[in-house]
Amino acid sequence: MACFAAVLLVPLEAASWQSRPVQVVAVGDLLLAGALLPLLDRHGTDYPFLHVRDRLRGADVAVGNLEVPLTRAQTPTPGKDPRAVREGRDYVFRAPPTLAGNLRRAGFDVLSLANNHAMDYGAEGLLETVRVLRAAGIRPVGAGRNVEEATRAVVWRSSGVELAFLAASQILPVGSVATDSSPGIAASRGNYGGRDWRAGLLQRVRAHAAAGRVVVVSVHWGTERASVPDGEQVELAAALAAHGAHAVLGHHPHVLQGMAWVGRTFVAFSLGNFVATPSDRLARESVMVTLWVTSHGVRRVQVQPVWIQAGQPQPLGGEPAARLLSRLDRLSRAFGAAVSPAGEVWPSVRTSNRGGP
């Protein structure tokens, strides 16, 4: 297992003379599909964001993982077994393209498409998703019409700080990975089209860090419903940190996992669901994570606990918030981080990972 070194962060006040810190708000999976669609018909298409849009809009940049293609395409991907889909062992999602406007009004600026549902309706569905997001003013990352576009970073400039957003997936349905001439997503492992995708991702991270950018990497990884990251997550997080990533934002498990400091790199192994209609408690626990960033990296991290009620993320306070933060603290301690009762995420005294909490 990788060593998770605890370090002291530069206090925000000490770093603020260089530039105003940029606030990045990160959230988890946006599952605008299934049982949520009747709720949108009943309550309006802005319904999921009513309790969180002020915070998202107030950020310098708000990011999340869009877990559904926004498309009118009718033909599902052949890369998923129809029998598995019928039996509920796999899923194919789709949502109306008009929801791109709702995501923008909610405050989202950058959305990762590097996940196992971006190609649920094939190249047609993916390309329509990219098109409608851009038309709405949202920058998609981690997928595109070919390898070059799928691996291209979104570079965001704010208050004198340049951030590079990259996205890649370890969960790779058949036919979902981009090639030189066909649409798809960016992978974070494997050898497709003669490319070592993990090495390529690390190379891109290093190049953007060397250019003086703050590098934020979204990774779709891990095991669904697992509250503890697996060894592959831990090892890739350490490799991304070693190559210059400043923050790593994880998705796919659909539940919260612990947070970590790997040297000066902040890692959220899984941000859980954000807009979804899960029935079990762990899948309804969520967070909004605010990163204060200067040109030297992440200077402060704070977690806002969230509860998903009927598809709607709602910020928590009082005892419910305290319980969620306490649980997140327990999940994070094994990975070099502590979560305070105020939601601040700091390096803990423990300096190495020996396994799960």
Please report whether residue 346 resides in a domain: no
Tens-place pLDDT, residues 98-146: 999 999 999 999 999 999 999 999 999 999 999 999 999 999 999 999 9
> pLDDT value at position 20?
87
Please report whether residue 287 resides in a domain: yes
CATH code at position 93: 3.60.21.10
- In this prediction, residues 52-56 reach a mean pLDDT of 99
Angle between helix 197-210 and helix 231-242 axes, rounded to 10 deg: 30
Query: Is 90 exceeded by the pLDDT of residue 265?
Result: yes
The partner residues of 338 in beta bridges, in order of sequence, read 346
Please report whether residue 344 resides in a domain: no
8 A C-beta contact, residue 30 and residue 68:
yes
Please report whether residue 353 resides in a domain: no
Please report whether residue 72 resides in a domain: yes
4 or 251, higher pLDDT = 251
> pLDDT value at position 349?
63
Domain coverage including residue 185:
18-337
> pLDDT value at position 11?
44
Query: Is 50 exceeded by the pLDDT of residue 355?
Result: no
What is the Cα–Cα distance from 221 to 208, expressed in whole angstroms? 22
Cβ count near 58 (within 10 Å): 12
Query: Is 80 exceeded by the pLDDT of residue 356?
Result: no
Angle between helix 122-136 and helix 99-106 axes, rounded to 10 deg: 40
Q: How many domains does the chain have?
A: 1
Please report whether residue 85 resides in a domain: yes
- In this prediction, residues 153-180 reach a mean pLDDT of 98
Under the banding of pLDDT at 50, 70 and 90, the label for residue 19 is low
Query: Is 50 exceeded by the pLDDT of residue 357?
Result: no
What is the Cα–Cα distance from 8 to 315, expressed in whole angstroms? 29
**Residue 133: partners with Cβ closer than 8 Å, 6 or more residues away:** 66, 70, 100, 103, 111, 139, 140
Tens-place pLDDT, residues 181-209: 999 999 999 999 999 999 999 999 999 99
Cβ count near 59 (within 10 Å): 20
What pTM did the predictor assign? 0.93
Please report whether residue 6 resides in a domain: no
Query: Is 50 exceeded by the pLDDT of residue 45?
Result: yes
> pLDDT value at position 15?
43
What mean pLDDT is reported for the chain? 94
Please report whether residue 261 resides in a domain: yes
